[in-house]
Amino acid sequence: MVAELPASGTAVVDDGALVVFVEGLNSPMIVRKRDGGFGYAATDLAAIRRRVREFGADRLIYVVGSPQSFHFDLVFAVARKSGFLPPEVAAEHVAFGQVLGADGRKFSTREGTAVTLTALLDAAQEQAAPPIALAAIKYADLSTGLNKDYVFDVDRMVRTAGNTGPYLQYAHARLAQLLRRAAAEGLVVPDKIAVLDEPTEQTLALLLTRFGDVVTEVADTLQPHRLCGYLYELAGALSVFYEQCPVLKSDSEIRGSRLALCRLTKRVLASGLDMLGIEALERM
């Protein structure tokens, strides 16, 4: 055992164990155990070293549950001290919350209530087709703030109304159907949106201009729920637009402009869903 806390960054060998102390952190990191074995700390250090030196990584992002936050504080600190993680390389732990059951309690391995991803997908596929079920699971996970827990409610997740993945898929499929009808009627969709007289048209168009900023913000903050919130807002604006602005039955110039607006909205929805790993369905 070590009687005194050594200086920051000091590695101490004690009966075969390799222990590193870091200033500001109350617990040392065990790199090598007394029996000569290595744990997660050694593996993570080796991985950082290889990713930086061999792969040329300039930003390392670890998406791991929030209970591991202190572990990564230690790993990153030791990696900095050792030179494995140079100052110009960013290392971030993106912590996320837990999936809760309907009773509000976490799924626990110790209590025998752990649920695998396969089991969650099977439960969702009992309610919807595979692409929709997968969208429901992914969106429910990504639309929640990373550090927040959420309740696994499959009935709510697979709905095509409300803040769900299937709702966004439905919005995209609805646009795809509209554009197919336009093509069947021989209508040409112009490249530019020429007319934006109605307030709902203007709202939808203004939302589309925010897409790039939202993507940049998500890349900077590593908060995917912000993209989910944007896409949900966009789908809601699209729904209001549908109700108040006829597309195929409007006059020629207005019709062309609204078709162009619909095509652009479809592209943004498809791009956003793709970034979330969700299939943008053409039909539902």
Whole-structure pTM value: 0.76
Report the C-alpha gap between 90 and 58 in whole angstroms: 6
**In sequence order, what are the residues at sequence separation of 6 or more whose Cβ sits closer than 8 angstroms to the Cβ of residue 215?**
227, 275
Structural domain that includes position 129:
99-157
In this predicted structure, the answer to whether residue 214 has a pLDDT above a threshold of 50 is yes
Whether residue 79 sits in one domain with residue 62: yes
Answer whether residue 280 is part of any domain: no
Report the C-alpha gap between 113 and 96 in whole angstroms: 20
Tally of structural domains, the chain: 3
Answer whether residue 283 is part of any domain: no
Whether residue 174 sits in one domain with residue 253: yes
Return the CATH number at 271.
Answer: 1.10.730.10
Structure tokens at 222: 């590593």
Residue found by looking up tokens 């201009």 in the block = 209
Residue spans of beta strands (DSSP E) within the chain: 11-14, 17-20, 29-32, 59-65, 90-96, 99-100, 150-151
In this predicted structure, the answer to whether residue 231 has a pLDDT above a threshold of 80 is yes
Whether residue 150 sits in one domain with residue 49: no
What's the one-letter identity of residue 275?
A: M
Q: Is 175 exposed, middle or buried (0-12, 13-18, 19+ CB in 10 A)?
A: buried
Whether residue 134 sits in one domain with residue 110: yes
Answer whether residue 3 is part of any domain: no
Whether residue 216 sits in one domain with residue 148: no
Answer whether residue 79 is part of any domain: yes
Answer whether residue 53 is part of any domain: yes
Whether residue 109 sits in one domain with residue 82: no
Residue found by looking up tokens 């110009």 in the block = 88
Which whole-number Å values give the CA distances from 202 to 157, 176, 237, 261, in the listed order?
31, 21, 10, 10
Give Cα 85 distance to the centre of its chain: 26
Answer whether residue 284 is part of any domain: no
pLDDT in tens, 154-190: 666 667 778 999 999 999 999 999 999 999 999 999 9
State the chain's mean pLDDT as an integer: 85
Report the C-alpha gap between 55 and 49 in whole angstroms: 9
Which of residues 66, 96, 126 is at a domain's end? 96
Q: How many CB atoms lie within 10 A of CB 250?
A: 15
Whether residue 76 sits in one domain with residue 21: yes
Whether residue 251 sits in one domain with residue 173: yes
The three-state secondary structure class of 203 is: helix
pLDDT in tens, 93-130: 988 766 666 665 665 544 555 556 676 677 777 777 88
Whether residue 217 sits in one domain with residue 173: yes
pLDDT in tens, 36-60: 888 888 999 999 999 999 999 999 9
69-80 average pLDDT score? 90
Whether residue 214 sits in one domain with residue 171: yes
182-210 average pLDDT score? 95
Whether residue 247 sits in one domain with residue 226: yes
The three-state secondary structure class of 15 is: coil
Which of residues 78, 96, 114 is at a domain's end? 96
Whether residue 242 sits in one domain with residue 193: yes
Answer whether residue 39 is part of any domain: yes
Q: Comparing C-alpha atoms, which of 261, 258, 244 is closest to residue 207?
A: 261
**What does the pLDDT read at residue 29?**
78
**What does the pLDDT read at residue 226?**
95
Which of residues 49, 78, 96 is at a domain's end? 96
Answer whether residue 5 is part of any domain: no
Instruction: Identify the bridge partners of residue 20 per DSSP, sorted by sequence position.
Output: 11, 29
Contact 146, 225 (CB under 8 A): yes
